[in-house]
Amino acid sequence: MDPQKNQGTGASIVARDITKIYGTGPDAFHALGPIDLDIKPGEFVSLIGPSGCGKSTTMLLVSGLEPISQGHVEIDGKPLTKPISEIGIVFQDHLLLDFRTAIQNVMLQQEIRKLDKADMRSRADALFEQLDLVGAEDKYPWQLSGGMRQRVSIARALVHDPSMLIMDEPFGALDAISRTQIRHDLEMLWLAKRKTVLFITHSIEEAVGLSDRVLVMSKSPGRIVEEISIDLPRPRPAHLGEYPEFAVYAKKIYTIFEKLGVYNF
Amino acid sequence: MAQMSTVETSGGTRGSALPAWLKSGLLTIVAVLIVMGVWQVAAIAFDVPVWLVPKPSDFMARFVSDFPLLLHHAFETSKTLLMGFALGVLIAVPLAFAITSFGALERGLFPVIVFLNIMPKTVIGPILIVWFGIGPLVAVLIVFLMSFFPVLVDSMSGFRAVDPRLYYITRSMGASPAQTFFRIRLPASMDHIFAGMKIGVVKAVEGVIIAEFIASSAGLGYLIMRASGFMDMTLMFSGLIMAALVALVFNSGMSIAEVVLMPWSRRSQ
């Protein structure tokens, strides 16, 4: 795959009636769907919903990392048949390799994809600068703070310039202050590169703070129950309450959660 | 553990001019000298005959005078130890990988290995002698049997230690199985494999002397056994010292290898 091919643009994701059923027979577990997705190139879309609603499953299905039980997915108009390679993945846990320094963890992309080393190194250096990681290059993961580890993990997901980024609760393990900062840094990176982002979160503030569109999911089986377009100027501030609309969006999501029985006050 | 000892070390350095490792080394030497001194004085005072309990001066003199002989047998012992241990690691690590990769092996083969491990290894000695004759090979096999299991068990937990979600990331990179193994699984398991090897080497050192008692024609165990036949107490004691030195060399060799091979480890910092 040519990493330069999608320079500057994100991939489009179209999913039709995708369903995931784990196991067969009476033990089969209907985890997800059927759901439809229409994600435009360069769009920032969040999936929000209670635990076990199939958010992570959705992410794995549209990236080809888990087989789809029914339905089909098209990436950039091409049917999905195998794991997408033009993708960056970030999980809640940084999943960095203990035996590699920060920069070596990022350069794993270059080594395995056999890309040009000097070119990738300069891309990695640029990302380290944008993610406020300068000076951490030669540190091992255990020498870094949780927030910095997650930043390295984001750099690893972006260094090969993928056309889409999938993030599964990437800030879930961080403290509130780090979360706000890293949310802003991610938004700035996204504004510069406009890759398609599928962002999974439990946090209403994160979903509204980052997304163009928020998809609210219900559980067993996982379905998309509501779609909310977030029409707020970017970059968005640390304190989202500055926008009166923020409260309206948040209220909308809370109301859906209450209706779904996610909250019981 | 590693971190705690670092803290102790730096705490110890703060108070005095000597580095902590030198201080503890000197303390050890002083303690050994005191024990030897008391032993020497007591042996003279109570007039203990050399054939019963030799004085430190007796067996230290013997250690020096027969040093070439001791060294020769120490070399044989080291060779046996190294071969048996290497064989153990070379079989245990790939086997651990196979067992953790295939559920059928874990359910079928692993219980058999666990059962075989419960069996006292030296008991197999006489059988091995029938099969292979008296010689270093039998000792090598006993060392192998003793060091194999700890390496296997720890390597298995090492291969399991990798978060399976990491494979989503490597799959998205298009990593081949070989790349995944050599760049991720194997180095990620090294911590555990080394922990197993450290236990394995202790078992091997313990086993090699016993193996040479029963089944060898060379090595320190054989030398001590033969000296026992002649009631040559000073030679037995100097053999004992040499065996301790061999153990020390192998144990510290493992620690050095760990620092060299795993520069990322906290212990190496």
Return the CATH number at B95: 1.10.3720.10
Q: Do B41 and B76 belong to one domain?
A: no
Contacting A residues, span 126-185, partner chain B, CB-CB under 8 Å: 140, 142, 156
Peptide bond into B19 cis (omega under 30): no
pLDDT at A34 over 70: yes
**How many structural domains comprise chain B?**
2
- pLDDT band, very low/low/confident/very high, at B4 (cuts 50, 70, 90): very low
CB pairs under 8 A between A and B: 54
Q: Is residue B34 located within the same domain as residue B130?
A: no
How confident is the model at residue B111, as a pLDDT? 87
Judge residue A202's burial from the number of C-beta atoms within 10 Å of its C-beta, 0-12 exposed, 13-18 middle, 19 or more buried: middle
Q: Provide the residue range defining the domain that includes B68.
A: 55-268
* Residues of chain B in Cβ contact (below 8 Å) with chain A: 163, 165-166, 168-175, 179, 183-184, 187-188, 190-191, 262, 264, 266
| Distance separating alpha carbons of residues B267 and B264, to the nearest angstrom | 8
Nearest CA in chain B to A56: B165
Q: Which residues of B touch A99 (CB under 8 A)?
A: 187-188, 190, 262, 264
Q: B220 and B262, same structural domain? A: yes
Distance from CA of A86 to the nearest CA of B (A): 8
For residues B200 and B115, state if they share a domain.
yes
pLDDT computed for residue A165 by the predictor = 92
Please indicate, yes or no, whether residues B133 and B220 belong to a single structural domain of this protein: yes
Residue where a domain terminates, one of B26, B47, B68: B47
Nearest to A95 among B166, B179, B262 (CB): B166
pLDDT digits (tens, 9 = 90+) for A133-153: 898 889 999 889 888 999 999
Both B157 and B75 in one domain: the answer is yes
The residues near B133 (Cβ < 8 Å, ≥ 6 apart) are none
B33 and B137 share one domain: no
% of chain A beyond a pLDDT of 90: 32
A112 contact residues in B (CB cutoff 8 A): 170, 173-175, 179, 183
Check CB contact under 8 Å for A97 and B184.
yes
Task: Report the chain A residue with the minimal C-alpha distance to residue B167.
Answer: A65
The answer on pLDDT for B70 being more than 90 is yes
What would the pLDDT profile of A82-135 be if each residue is shown by its tens digit? 888 889 999 988 899 988 999 999 999 999 989 888 998 999 999 999 888 898
CA angle B256–B261–B267, rounded 5-degree value: 60
* DSSP tag of A222: B
Chain B residue numbers with beta carbons less than 8 Å from the beta carbon of A109 are 173
Confidence tier at B5 by pLDDT (50, 70, 90) = very low
Strands A164-168 and A87-90 turn out to be parallel
- The model carries a pTM of 0.77
Instruction: Note whether B79 and B21 are same-domain residues.
Output: no
Residue scoring higher pLDDT (B11 or A59)? A59
What one-character-per-residue DSSP string does B178-192 give?
Answer: HHIIIIIIHHHHHHH
Same domain, B39 and B167: no
Instruction: List, for residues B73-132, the tens digit of each pLDDT value.
Output: 999 999 999 999 999 999 999 999 999 888 888 888 888 888 888 888 777 888 888 898
Q: Please tell me whether residues B2 and B60 are part of one structural domain.
A: no
Q: Name the token pair of B156.
A: 């298995």
- Whether B2 and B119 share a structural domain: no
Mean pLDDT of B12-21: 64
User: Tens digit of pLDDT for each residue in A208-264?
Assistant: 999 999 999 988 778 888 899 999 888 888 888 888 889 899 999 998 888 888 877
Q: Is A5's pLDDT higher than 50? A: no
Question: Hey, what amino acid is at A99?
Answer: F
Among candidate residues B27, B47, B67, the one where a domain is terminated: B47
- Put simply, whether A113 touches B (Cβ < 8 Å) is yes
Judgement on whether residues B62 and B181 belong to the same structural domain of the protein = yes
- Which among B163, B173, B184 has the least Cβ separation from residue A93? B163
What's the pLDDT score for residue A50?
Answer: 86
- B174-191: average pLDDT: 88
